[in-house]
Each structure stands twice: as structure tokens, then as C-alpha cells.
Structure 1
Amino acid sequence: MATSIGENSKESSSSTLARLAPLQAVLFDIDGTLCDSDPFHYLAFREMLLEIGYNGGVPVDEEWFVKTISGKHNDDLVSVLFPNDHERGVKFLDDKEALFRRLAKEQLKPQNGLYKLRKWIEDHGLKRAAVTNAPRANAELCINQVGLADFFDALILGSDCKHAKPYPDPYLKALEVLNVSKDHTFVFEDSVSGIKAGVAAGMSVIGLANRNPSQLLMEAKPVFLIKDYEDPKLWAALEEIDKKFATRKTTT
């Protein structure tokens, strides 16, 4: 994975984000991006699908979870898991989310380097929104659990948009709510679905390759991948933004 993450040079990664200066806003996905919540989602799905005899009673594995579940909205998952019984599918996923919250409560941990990045964003006076396909109860649990309840200016839910990720609607709505330009905003995402949504909205997307395979993430066309928020590639890019902004201030 480390090799794949490093395929793009720091120079090209830095110059890509530098074009966004002066930066106006940063947008974040929640699950797998702010916190390492995917293991709890996987455990909840595995347990509940096993109870109903899904997959012939064989427990689903993490590869299945990444391919079938990761980043998708529950409305889409109903059709995938229960194509012939919509009502049962909705009830199943509601129960699964409740189990996720029980498993994750007080166990969720922020992604490495998140608070360092938070300080950089606050020091630069940038607007910020959380943009997610998760239900509101899950989103608020995750945000509160990692101590960011007072950090975001807006919370955008896929269910509040005409289309959820991988459509661009949630990210377009975030730009509208924050009153910022896509040309001066970038996104952090950890799933193929989320990266596609940000790219479709016309923004630069930084992918977190912490759970999902780097090769799959790169196919969704992020500007580059990072391991976490301590990754030197990220900080080289942010430093380049600072330099470009400082140069513009000096020349004007």
C-alpha cells in the first residue's frame, strides 16, 4: 500500500493544491475519514447478515465489505441486499445502524494527525463542512466522539440531497451552504464512492488509503493519496498553499 500511495511525487501533489490558493474551505467525509469507524460497520454487518443466513450462512469478509458496502448510501444498499423486499431491507439497515452505534460508542478514535490538521484549518480561518452518506445519528456520534462538535460550520447528509454519493449533489450542496467556490475548496475522502462524488463536483480530492485498497481509490481520480493526516505529502502540499498565498499578498 505504501508504494501505491507514493506513486505521485510530492512536487506534483503540492502544485495541484497550490492552484487552489487562496483557499476558502475544506470538506470532510466522516466514516473512515475523520475516524476509523469502518471496523465497527463491518462487524455490525457481519453479525446481522449471519443471523439471517446471508451468503449461505458463511460470514462475509472485509473484501466483500469494501466492494459492496463501503461509502454507499443505505438506500442503495437496500436494493443490493434485499432486492425483493424493500421494507425488510430498510428495517434491517436501521437495526444495523443502531448496532453500529452501540459498538462504536466511546470506542471511535480520530484518524492520526486529525487535530494537527484541525489547527491548521482554524489558524487559516477556513470554512469547513462534514459531508456524509451516513444517517444523522451516526454522523453526530462520530463527530462528537472525536471532539469536533464545534468545528464544522455545516453537516451535509446524502439523504437531504436528491442523490447521495457517488453523485456530486452532497458536495455541491456543501459549496452552496458555505458560499464558497469549488476552485478554492478541497475534499478529504476515504472511499471510491466519496472520491467520485467530490471529483464529479469539480473539486480536488485527497484520498485516505487507510482501509480501502489504494489501487481502487486511485481509479476514482483523487489528486493524491495519503496514509493519514501526518503524511508528509499532505503537509508539503499545505506548505505550498501557504507559500503561494504569501507571494500573492506580497505582490498585491
Structure 2
Amino acid sequence: MTTAPWAVLFDMDGVLIDNTEFHINAWIQFAQLRNFPLTRDLYIEHINGRVSADAMAYVLQRPIPADELAALTEEKESIYRELYQPHLQPAPGLMSFLDALKAQGVRTAVGTSAPASNVSFTLDGLNLRPYFDAVVDASMVRRGKPDPEIYLKAAERVGVEPARCIVFEDAFAGIEAGLRAGMHVVALATTHMHEELADTGAALIIDDFTALTVNQLRQLID
């Protein structure tokens, strides 16, 4: 077993927290206000895992200027935060898993398509920020998932080569981003069912973190 450093990179929504249905409901409410017939299936196909610029362009059916994008994004995210606030909690088994990673000196980062306001809402609301060596959000990249930029930047910030990084993702776009970055991917079946994730290229598919050990994870790269 090699002693070279390795890292675990986490998506946020649908991974650190099981909040997918709240995001879906928030997007549907937002779209209804603009007479766009968004459904759960359309959300999963066109929005889940993607940065706000791409998602908003799909719902409004036009490119969104930067100044307008900021206001629209915050409007949608305020709907989401109001819906999810009473339910905010870490994914099952997450805290113990993060403690185990920290105890073994594994480097960690968050790579999320979420805006900074939601990152603060989640990481600070649950006191998760101290567990991560780096956080990369949508404002820090030019190209959203499935482009690998967000995970490559996260790997660079924790000082670990991509081949020794393991990405935790729930969305097809995020899984593709991790694989395109040359990383190993663990898929969480929070947004998609196991059978839907079977052909994504993920090395492992799990329901949550409760039965996962650091040594089991290490085997993916050693």
C-alpha cells in the first residue's frame, strides 16, 4: 500500500445533505412563476448538477446576462433555503465518515455547482466547514459540470494529483465531471436509483455513508 497522499472530493447537494427533492420543488416553484412547465424528469435531465447559468438558460429559454443571473439565482435559492431550512441535516453516516478521514490525514474538499450563499447555508449551518481543506463553488469556475474544471481545481487546492482523488457524486453531470478529471467516483443513490447509476462508470454505488470505511475507499486507488 502506497503512502502517497490522496484526497476525497465531495459534491454538496445530494451528497453531504440529502436535499434533492427540496431543490426540485424550489426549481418547479421558480419555473411556475415564469410559466415554464418544469417537471421532476426535466429537472434531472437538464438542471441537476449544473451551474446556475446553464440551469437558468434552460428554464428561461435564453442566455442570461451576468447581472440578471445573480438576482434570478438568489430568488430561486431563497425558495430552496426556506423549504429546506427546517430539514437541514447531514447525510446519514457523514459525520462519522468525515471524522474517520480526518483521523487518517486524508485531504478533503468540496466541489459544488451551488452558489456561495447555499454553501454558507449548508457548511456553516451544519458546522461542516472545518472538515474540508478547500471549498470550490460555482463562482470559482468558468465551466460547470460535466466539465471537469471544478474537480481539477479542488484537487489542485488540496495538492493531490487527480488519479489519487475520489469523488462523491449523485448527479450524472457530476459523475461525468469526476471521470473526465481522471478521478475515481463513488455514486450516491440519492437522486438516481442504483440501476440508473450502474452504467455511469462509478467505481462504487452507495445509499449513504453509514457502512463505508476509509480502508474500503482507499482500495479504489491503491
Q: TM-score, normalised by structure 1?
A: 0.78
Letter in 2 for 1:198: G
Letter in 1 for 2:215: L
Q: Offset of 1:213 from its aligned partner?
A: 3.2
8 Å contact 1:191–1:217 — kept in the other structure? no
Say whether residues 1:47 and 2:29 are aligned partners.
Answer: yes
Q: Offset of 1:121 from its aligned partner?
A: 0.1
| Equivalences for residues 30-109 of structure 1 within 5 A | 30-55=12-37, 60-84=38-62, 86-87=64-65, 90=69, 91-109=71-89
Aligned to 1:26: 8
Following the alignment from structure 1 to structure 2, what is the Cα–Cα distance between the partners of residues 36 and 29?
A: 11
Q: Which runs of 4+ in 1 moved over 6 A?
A: none
8 Å contact 1:25–1:184 — kept in the other structure? yes
Letter in 1 for 2:19: S
Following the alignment from structure 1 to structure 2, what is the Cα–Cα distance between the partners of residues 178 and 65?
A: 32
Partner SS, residue 180 of structure 1: coil
Aligned to 1:196: 176
Larger Rg: 1
Q: Offset of 1:146 from its aligned partner?
A: 2.8
Letter in 2 for 1:39: E
Partner SS, residue 210 of structure 2: coil
Q: Offset of 1:23 from its aligned partner?
A: 4.8
**Alignment deviations for residues 187-222 of structure 1 (CA, whole Å, 9 cap, x no partner):** 111111111111111010100012223344333311
**Alignment deviations for residues 10-36 of structure 1 (CA, whole Å, 9 cap, x no partner):** xxxxxxxx8x86552111000000001
Q: Offset of 1:51 from its aligned partner?
A: 2.5
Letter in 1 for 2:42: W
Q: Alignment partner for residue 238 of structure 1, among 212, 215, 221?
A: 215
| Equivalences for residues 104-115 of structure 1 within 5 A | 104-115=84-95
Bigger proportion of residues as helix: 1
Following the alignment from structure 1 to structure 2, what is the Cα–Cα distance between the partners of residues 196 and 158?
A: 17
8 Å contact 1:190–1:207 — kept in the other structure? yes
Letter in 2 for 1:219: D
Report % sequence identity.
28
Partner SS, residue 105 of structure 1: helix
Taking a change above 3 Å as real, the CA distance of residues 199 and 219 of structure 1, as seen in their structure-2 partners, is same
Q: Alignment partner for residue 210 of structure 1, among 155, 169, 190?
A: 190
Partner SS, residue 129 of structure 1: strand
Following the alignment from structure 2 to structure 1, what is the Cα–Cα distance between the partners of residues 147 and 191?
A: 22
Q: Alignment partner for residue 153 of structure 1, among 129, 133, 153?
A: 133
8 Å contact 1:195–1:217 — kept in the other structure? no
| Equivalences for residues 107-186 of structure 1 within 5 A | 107-186=87-166
Following the alignment from structure 2 to structure 1, what is the Cα–Cα distance between the partners of residues 24 and 17?
A: 14
Gaps of 5+ in 2: none
Aligned to 1:225: 205
Q: Offset of 1:86 from its aligned partner?
A: 2.5
Partner SS, residue 129 of structure 2: coil
